[in-house]
Amino acid sequence: MNIKSLLSARVIAGAMLLALVGVAQVATGREVGVPLPKPAVDAPVAPGTREDTAVFAGGCFWGVEAVFRHVKGVHAAVSGYAGGSKPSPSYEEVSTGSTGHAESVSVRYDPSVVSYGELLQIFMSVAHNPTELNRQGPDHGTQYRSAIFYRTPEQQKAAQAYIAQLNATHAFPAPVVTEVTPLTRFYPAEDYHQDYLAQHPYQPYIVYNDAPKLDDLKKLYPDRYQR
């Protein structure tokens, strides 16, 4: 299946859902953001540090990227691929599920404005559903798995502690299945995937699956939202 076909399948699925159910019913029936407590353990910041990077995977990277682009303190969010063994993979290759890569987002941020723990909170709360195994919404396969790719031991400790915290307090009706694994390499995705939500705000897939995540961010964390 070529790239155009893969993209078309995702778009058509969203269009069919909207046509069958109706926009109003879809909007009320989708999974909503979940308010979560702040992490009890956060990654410490070295004095004078003004920039750091976090990498997350939570289903289709379009929505995850869009959420982090609108978080205060985030300098850049880039869609890409991580977690697999194939060098410089293409979207078409990753979409087969055979590369080991997951659609991921690299978040460059100012830890003096937003901490790594706060990014974890937003990732778990509004960017995706961390209780879904190898899927998110209409997308299925290991390339859509929930994962946190840590760059330092401090990030690893914070991520593992937060997952344990959420499971211990039963923040979700099901256990968190998010992987916590070391980042070996992040490969930026093709240009047409970058800032996809802003470029295609009326695409059915975006309207149903991703745009509501921004609404959840504004509603649940208004002090962290930026235009």
What is the set of active-site residues?
A: 60
Q: How far apart are CA 22 and CA 20, in angstroms?
A: 6
Answer for the pair 78, 54: CB distance below 8 angstroms, yes or no. no
Give residue 141's identity as a one-letter amino acid code. Answer: G
| DSSP track, 133-153 | SSEETTEESGGG-EEEEESSH
Place of tokens 């289709």: 60
Cα 72 to Cα 27, 36, 187: the distances in Å are: 26, 18, 24
* DSSP code for 223: G
